[in-house]
Amino acid sequence: VATRDAYGKALVKLGQINWIGKFGNLQTLIKHSSKVGFIKNERNKWEITSNIFSNNDIEFDKDTIRNTKKTTEENNIIDIIKNLNF
């Protein structure tokens, strides 16, 4: 559960990465990074993602990222992941 300010806005944890792109793109990035082994903890990938990232300065939980709408840019994101040389 997010900590909220006096106006009800969820406060971002210090050190979180603020994702400013489309939320579905983040989900696709994590999902496919996990498939190719960039993310080692497959079982907890959505919980870890929700702890590391905020979405436009708003916290989200593991169910929100796991169940977000699929992106239309999936093929582009997959191509980027395939071209990373780790």
| Tens-binned pLDDT, residue by residue, of the chain (86 aa) | 456 667 766 665 667 888 999 999 999 999 999 888 888 878 899 999 998 998 888 889 999 999 999 899 999 999 999 888 65
| pTM of the full structure | 0.77
Which residue shows structure tokens 């239309």? 72
Q: Are 32 and 75 in contact (CB under 8 A)?
A: no
What is the SS3 assignment for 19-39?
ECCCHHHHHHHHHHHHHCCCC
The CA-based angle 35-12-76, given to 5 degrees, is: 30
Give residue 1's Cα distance to chain centre. 17
